[in-house]
């Protein structure tokens, strides 16, 4: 069989079945030399599975893979790397306690296994940083890096191994807008050098900006491939979801309740590096309203959420929930529903089942426990109800959460936190990594919470969704609230300026 010389990688008829799921159904696609191929599809469509097969993490049940025209068997990531394939995973695989440089060289066979000479590695690492304008301090321990920098590190790691085909699985989900721009510059440089990139993202704007062609996957099979120049937002959305999707502002009854649920006064807190992250925050969220928190990632939003839910110590000020001191009510999870930004580290127990994750907050109470004995039937029934209500795609309630797609893991957290009907909901990047339809449904669930009378704090770096969902909007910049405005009347330009710290006076 003759292969076009332009094709860097081709997959033919890839099928992969997991217990109860046909994740990839005879998928064929190719990626040309020097192009960015976008991979678009709903949560659970099979994108990560397909890329894991390419990277040797899974073996396909059937199908073939060709690299530069030659059929290959990729039985391990080591083999994939040898073939010039690099992958940055949706959930990073760095070792927290190692330095940046150690993570990069981890697993590379050394010529002299007994002596580890870091000097040449360090030199090569730094020259890559410079070449692609992605700087990471090689000596810093990885846990101290922002998620954006961890992403750079994953990319540098692949480039260090001289990847000719780089797979980026939702790279921008964790990047600030300026980091996103930096990434796009690096991607353009890579493709100019003749390397290829497969780019997975749920953000249409980005996919339209950076890719050359787009392959859309739905329910494990390819719906079609379109040249990006000819693609439009509505058409892609329809291909992906199978129905039109709208992101317009949601109609809602006007807020009726006025009781303050969350009251923060002069709250101060430090970040993980011990530097001030919150400076004198004063904020009230009332029953029946959604307060949106806009801002570029890393301006104190994480610390704000963590202080409210009691995961972070304040260095000053007070927080009350329904009049109770937050330090007292934290023992009782029925006060606050929390959807954290980092679902894998904070929100879920990956090795427990979906059903178990759905009851981790209440398993010790009836009906899940009677006379000290867990009642599995009640737990399963509860799980099945939530799976249906929140449209969680899983073969059953007894599957370990680690086997769910990224978006569906997020739905498990949302379902658990909302089903308890708490008076206060803190949603931090709640729609990160979710597909269009799922974003819409999370928005609808939050609105439902609001309409039932919950106070909702909605933290997001996506300005569009803050504007479409919030009754009131505050903007955070460097640990301070830059301004506050009505959600309906908010001006996107004013918010944008505040996000960059350019407006000093408070707009009423």
Binding positions for Mg ion, rule: CB under 5 A: 48, 90, 406
Alpha-carbon span 137 to 125, nearest angstrom: 10
Q: Does 215 bind ligand ATP (CB under 6 A)?
A: no
Interface residue with ligand ATP among 182, 405, 428, 431 (CB under 6 A) is 405
Q: Does 138 bind ligand ATP (CB under 6 A)?
A: no
| Region binding ligand ATP by CB under 6 A among candidate stretches 38-46, 96-104, 188-196, 348-356 | 38-46
Query: C-beta of 391: minimal distance to Mg ion in Å?
Result: 17
Comparing C-alpha atoms, which of 392, 401, 308 is closest to residue 351?
401
Q: Which residues pair with 339 in a beta bridge?
A: 427
- Provide the 10 A C-beta neighbour count for residue 365: 10
Binding partner selected for residue 404 from ligand ATP, Mg ion, none, CB under the kind-specific 5 to 8 Å limit: ligand ATP
Beta carbons of 43 and 408 less than 8 angstroms apart: yes
Max intra-chain CA distance, the chain: 73
Interface residue with ligand ATP among 47, 195, 213, 450 (CB under 6 A) is 47
202 or 443: CB nearest ligand ATP: 202
Q: Does 201 bind ligand ATP (CB under 6 A)?
A: no
Beta carbons of 48 and 90 less than 8 angstroms apart: yes
396 or 451: CB nearest ligand ATP: 396
Q: Does 337 bind ligand ATP (CB under 6 A)?
A: no
Binding partner selected for residue 49 from Mg ion, ligand ATP, none, CB under the kind-specific 5 to 8 Å limit: ligand ATP
Alpha-carbon span 279 to 256, nearest angstrom: 31
Query: C-beta of 408: minimal distance to ligand ATP in Å?
Result: 6
Comparing C-alpha atoms, which of 197, 209, 212, 157 is closest to residue 51?
197
Comparing C-alpha atoms, which of 448, 444, 501 is closest to residue 477?
501
Q: Which residues pair with 85 in a beta bridge?
A: 165
Binding partner selected for residue 149 from Mg ion, ligand ATP, none, CB under the kind-specific 5 to 8 Å limit: none
Q: Which of residues 427-446 bind ligand ATP (CB under 6 A)?
A: 435
Interface residue with ligand ATP among 40, 48, 299, 312 (CB under 6 A) is 48
Q: Does 14 bind ligand ATP (CB under 6 A)?
A: no
Q: Does 250 bind ligand ATP (CB under 6 A)?
A: no
Beta carbons of 283 and 268 less than 8 angstroms apart: no
Binding partner selected for residue 228 from Mg ion, ligand ATP, none, CB under the kind-specific 5 to 8 Å limit: none
Binding partner selected for residue 302 from Mg ion, ligand ATP, none, CB under the kind-specific 5 to 8 Å limit: none
Query: C-beta of 47: minimal distance to ligand ATP in Å?
Result: 4
Comparing C-alpha atoms, which of 33, 43, 34 is closest to residue 5?
33
Cα separation values, 12 from 80, 254, 339, Å: 17, 54, 39
- Six-digit token pair at 445? 């669930």
- Six-digit token pair at 71? 């059929």
Query: C-beta of 369: minimal distance to Mg ion in Å?
Result: 35
| Region binding ligand ATP by CB under 6 A among candidate stretches 7-15, 16-24, 361-369, 471-479 | 16-24
| Region binding ligand ATP by CB under 6 A among candidate stretches 4-12, 30-38, 287-295, 398-406 | 398-406
Backbone φ, ψ for residue 58 (5° rounding): -125, 155
Query: C-beta of 185: minimal distance to ligand ATP in Å?
Result: 25
Alpha-carbon span 350 to 414, nearest angstrom: 15
Q: By CB neighbour count within 10 A (0-12 exposed, 13-18 middle, 19+ buried), where does 171 fall?
A: buried
Instruction: Kindly state the helix (H) or strand (E) to which residue 213 belongs, with its residue range.
Output: strand 213-218
Query: C-beta of 23: minimal distance to ligand ATP in Å?
Result: 3
Interface residue with ligand ATP among 6, 18, 93, 315 (CB under 6 A) is 18
200 or 481: CB nearest ligand ATP: 200
Q: Does 347 bind ligand ATP (CB under 6 A)?
A: no
Alpha-carbon span 210 to 190, nearest angstrom: 12
Query: C-beta of 312: minimal distance to ligand ATP in Å?
Result: 28
Interface residue with ligand ATP among 38, 148, 310, 407 (CB under 6 A) is 407
Say if strands 276-286 and 196-200 run parallel, antiparallel, or are unpaired.
unpaired
Q: Which of residues 268-307 bind ligand ATP (CB under 6 A)?
A: none
Binding partner selected for residue 422 from ligand ATP, Mg ion, none, CB under the kind-specific 5 to 8 Å limit: none
SS3 of 260-310: the string is: EEEEEEEEEEECCCCCEEEEEEEEEEECCCEEEEECCCCCCHHHHHHHHHC
User: Which residues contribute to the site for ligand ATP (CB under 6 A)?
Assistant: 18, 21, 23, 41, 43-49, 90, 393, 403-408, 435
């Amino acid at each position: 069989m003759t292969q076009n010389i332009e094709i860097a990688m081709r997959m033919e008829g890839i099928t992969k079945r997991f217990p109860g799921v046909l994740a990839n159904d005879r998928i064929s696609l190719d990626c040309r030399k020097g192009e960015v191929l976008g991979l678009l599809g709903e949560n659970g469509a099979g994108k990560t599975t397909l890329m894991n097969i390419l990277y040797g993490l899974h073996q396909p049940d059937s199908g073939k893979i060709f690299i530069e025209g030659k059929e290959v068997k990729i039985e391990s990531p080591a083999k994939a790397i040898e073939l010039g394939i690099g992958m940055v995973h949706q959930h990073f695989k760095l070792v927290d306690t190692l330095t940046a440089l150690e993570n990069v060289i981890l697993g590379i066979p050394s010529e002299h296994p007994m002596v580890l000479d870091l000097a040449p590695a360090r030199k090569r690492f730094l020259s890559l940083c410079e070449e692609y304008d992605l700087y990471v301090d090689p000596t810093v321990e990885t846990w101290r890096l922002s998620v954006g920098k961890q992403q750079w590190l994953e990319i540098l790691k692949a480039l260090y191994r001289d990847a000719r085909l780089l797979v980026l699985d939702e790279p921008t989900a964790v990047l600030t807008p300026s980091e996103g721009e930096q990434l796009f510059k690096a991607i353009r440089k890579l493709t100019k050098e003749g390397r290829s990139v497969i780019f997975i993202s749920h953000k249409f704007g980005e996919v339209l900006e950076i890719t050359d062609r787009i392959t859309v996957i739905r329910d494990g099979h390819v719906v079609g491939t379109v040249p990006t120049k000819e693609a439009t937002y509505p058409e892609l959305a329809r291909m992906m979801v199978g129905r039109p999707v709208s992101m317009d502002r949601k109609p809602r009854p006007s807020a009726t309740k006025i009781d303050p649920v969350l009251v923060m006064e002069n709250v101060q807190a430090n970040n993980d590096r011990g530097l001030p992250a919150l400076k004198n925050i004063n904020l009230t969220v009332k029953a029946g309203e959604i307060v949106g928190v806009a801002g570029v990632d890393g301006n104190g939003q994480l610390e704000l959420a963590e202080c409210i839910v009691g995961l972070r110590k304040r260095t000053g000020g007070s927080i009350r929930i329904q009049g109770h001191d937050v330090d007292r009510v934290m023992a009782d999870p029925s006060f606050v529903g929390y959807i954290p930004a980092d679902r894998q580290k904070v929100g879920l127990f990956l090795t427990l089942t979906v059903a178990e994750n759905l009851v981790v907050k209440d398993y010790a109470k009836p009906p899940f426990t009677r006379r000290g004995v867990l009642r599995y039937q009640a737990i399963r029934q509860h799980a099945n109800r939530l799976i249906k209500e929140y449209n969680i795609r899983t073969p059953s309630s007894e599957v370990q959460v680690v086997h769910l797609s990224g978006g569906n893991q997020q739905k498990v957290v949302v379902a658990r936190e909302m089903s308890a009907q708490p008076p206060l909901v803190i949603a931090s990047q709640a729609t990160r990594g979710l597909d269009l339809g799922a974003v819409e449904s999370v928005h609808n669930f939050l609105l439902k919470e609001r309409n039932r009378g919950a106070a909702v704090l909605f933290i997001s770096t996506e300005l569009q969704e803050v504007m479409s969902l919030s009754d009131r909007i505050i903007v955070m910049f460097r640990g301070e609230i830059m301004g506050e405005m009505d959600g309906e009347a908010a001006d996107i330009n004013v918010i944008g300026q505040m996000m960059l710290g350019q407006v000093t006076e408070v707009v009423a």
